[in-house]
Protein backbone atom coordinates (compact mmCIF):
# COMPACT_ATOMS: atom_id res chain seq x y z
CA UNK A 1 0.00 0.00 0.00
CA UNK A 2 2.96 2.35 0.22
CA UNK A 3 3.87 4.78 2.96
CA UNK A 4 1.30 6.20 5.35
CA UNK A 5 0.16 9.75 4.58
CA UNK A 6 2.25 12.38 6.34
CA UNK A 7 -0.63 13.58 8.50
CA UNK A 8 -0.77 10.21 10.30
CA UNK A 9 2.35 11.29 12.21
CA UNK A 10 0.70 14.57 13.19
CA UNK A 11 -2.28 12.65 14.55
CA UNK A 12 -0.21 10.69 17.08
CA UNK A 13 -1.14 13.28 19.70
CA UNK A 14 -4.81 12.63 18.88
CA UNK A 15 -5.09 8.83 18.87
CA UNK A 16 -8.90 8.86 18.80
CA UNK A 17 -8.87 10.75 15.48
CA UNK A 18 -6.16 8.50 14.08
CA UNK A 19 -8.16 5.43 15.15
CA UNK A 20 -11.27 6.86 13.51
CA UNK A 21 -9.45 7.52 10.25
CA UNK A 22 -7.94 4.05 10.28
CA UNK A 23 -11.41 2.58 10.84
CA UNK A 24 -12.76 4.51 7.84
CA UNK A 25 -9.91 3.22 5.67
CA UNK A 26 -10.54 -0.33 6.84
CA UNK A 27 -14.27 -0.03 6.14
CA UNK A 28 -13.63 1.31 2.65
CA UNK A 29 -11.26 -1.52 1.84
CA UNK A 30 -13.41 -4.28 3.35
CA UNK A 31 -16.63 -3.76 1.45
CA UNK A 32 -18.37 -0.49 2.15
CA UNK A 33 -21.27 -1.01 -0.21
CA UNK A 34 -19.93 1.59 -2.65
CA UNK A 35 -19.79 0.83 -6.35
CA UNK A 36 -16.44 -0.12 -7.85
CA UNK A 37 -16.41 3.22 -9.70
CA UNK A 38 -16.85 5.17 -6.45
CA UNK A 39 -14.05 3.23 -4.75
CA UNK A 40 -11.76 3.91 -7.73
CA UNK A 41 -12.66 7.63 -7.65
CA UNK A 42 -11.88 7.84 -3.92
CA UNK A 43 -8.64 5.92 -4.40
CA UNK A 44 -7.53 8.14 -7.28
CA UNK A 45 -8.37 11.32 -5.37
CA UNK A 46 -6.60 10.27 -2.18
CA UNK A 47 -3.54 9.07 -4.12
CA UNK A 48 -3.33 12.45 -5.85
CA UNK A 49 -3.71 14.35 -2.58
CA UNK A 50 -1.03 12.22 -0.91
CA UNK A 51 1.37 12.79 -3.80
CA UNK A 52 1.53 9.10 -4.68
CA UNK A 53 1.70 9.67 -8.43
CA UNK A 54 2.43 6.05 -9.32
CA UNK A 55 -0.65 4.80 -7.50
CA UNK A 56 -2.72 7.69 -8.85
CA UNK A 57 -1.71 6.69 -12.37
CA UNK A 58 -2.78 3.09 -11.72
CA UNK A 59 -6.20 4.24 -10.53
CA UNK A 60 -6.44 6.71 -13.43
CA UNK A 61 -5.89 3.85 -15.87
CA UNK A 62 -8.59 1.76 -14.18
CA UNK A 63 -11.01 4.70 -14.25
CA UNK A 64 -10.35 5.38 -17.93
CA UNK A 65 -10.87 1.68 -18.74
CA UNK A 66 -14.25 1.94 -17.00
CA UNK A 67 -15.13 4.98 -19.11
CA UNK A 68 -14.80 7.42 -16.20
CA UNK A 69 -13.53 10.97 -16.47
CA UNK A 70 -10.77 12.23 -14.16
CA UNK A 71 -11.71 15.91 -14.28
CA UNK A 72 -14.12 15.88 -11.30
CA UNK A 73 -11.54 14.31 -8.99
CA UNK A 74 -8.77 16.58 -10.31
CA UNK A 75 -10.95 19.63 -9.58
CA UNK A 76 -11.67 18.42 -6.04
CA UNK A 77 -7.96 17.72 -5.45
CA UNK A 78 -7.15 21.27 -6.61
CA UNK A 79 -9.76 22.76 -4.27
CA UNK A 80 -11.97 23.83 -7.17
CA UNK A 81 -15.67 23.31 -7.68
CA UNK A 82 -16.10 19.94 -9.40
CA UNK A 83 -18.39 19.29 -12.32
CA UNK A 84 -21.52 17.90 -10.68
CA UNK A 85 -21.23 14.19 -9.97
CA UNK A 86 -24.52 14.05 -8.22
CA UNK A 87 -25.63 13.09 -4.77
CA UNK A 88 -23.65 10.84 -2.53
CA UNK A 89 -20.65 10.37 -4.85
CA UNK A 90 -19.81 14.06 -4.71
CA UNK A 91 -20.33 14.21 -0.94
CA UNK A 92 -18.11 11.14 -0.44
CA UNK A 93 -15.32 12.61 -2.59
CA UNK A 94 -15.43 15.96 -0.79
CA UNK A 95 -15.34 14.11 2.53
CA UNK A 96 -12.40 11.98 1.33
CA UNK A 97 -10.54 15.16 0.38
CA UNK A 98 -11.18 16.81 3.75
CA UNK A 99 -10.30 13.73 5.78
CA UNK A 100 -7.10 13.26 3.76
CA UNK A 101 -5.94 16.87 4.03
CA UNK A 102 -6.99 17.62 7.61
CA UNK A 103 -8.77 14.75 9.34
CA UNK A 104 -8.73 16.60 12.66
CA UNK A 105 -11.00 19.31 11.21
CA UNK A 106 -13.75 17.00 9.91
CA UNK A 107 -17.04 17.86 11.57
CA UNK A 108 -20.02 15.82 12.69
CA UNK A 109 -22.16 17.61 10.11
CA UNK A 110 -19.86 16.39 7.33
CA UNK A 111 -20.24 12.83 8.54
CA UNK A 112 -24.04 13.22 8.80
CA UNK A 113 -24.14 14.54 5.21
CA UNK A 114 -22.98 11.11 4.03
CA UNK A 115 -26.08 9.32 5.32
The answer to whether position 84 is within a domain reads yes
Task: Provide the domain limits for residue 57.
Answer: 7-112
Q: Quick check: 66 and 36 in contact, CB under 8 A?
A: yes
Q: Total domain count for the chain?
A: 1
Residue 2: band (very low, low, confident or very high) from pLDDT cuts 50, 70, 90: low
Q: pLDDT at position 1, please?
A: 47
Neighbours of 72 (CB within 10 A): 20
The answer to whether position 2 is within a domain reads no
pTM of full prediction above 0.75: no
The answer to whether position 73 is within a domain reads yes
* Cα separation, 88 vs 95, whole angstroms: 10
The answer to whether position 1 is within a domain reads no
pLDDT by residue (tens digit) across 68-96? 888 888 888 888 877 777 777 888 888 88
HEC secondary structure over 9-68: HHHHHCHHHHHHHHHHHHHHHCCCCCCHHHHHHHHHHHHHHCCCHHHHHHHHHHHHHCCC
* Cα separation, 68 vs 54, whole angstroms: 19
pLDDT by residue (tens digit) across 26-58? 666 665 577 888 888 888 898 888 888 888 888
Amino acid sequence: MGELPSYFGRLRSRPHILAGHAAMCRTLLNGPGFSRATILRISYLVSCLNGDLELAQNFADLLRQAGERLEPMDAIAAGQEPAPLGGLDEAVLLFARDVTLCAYAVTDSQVVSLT
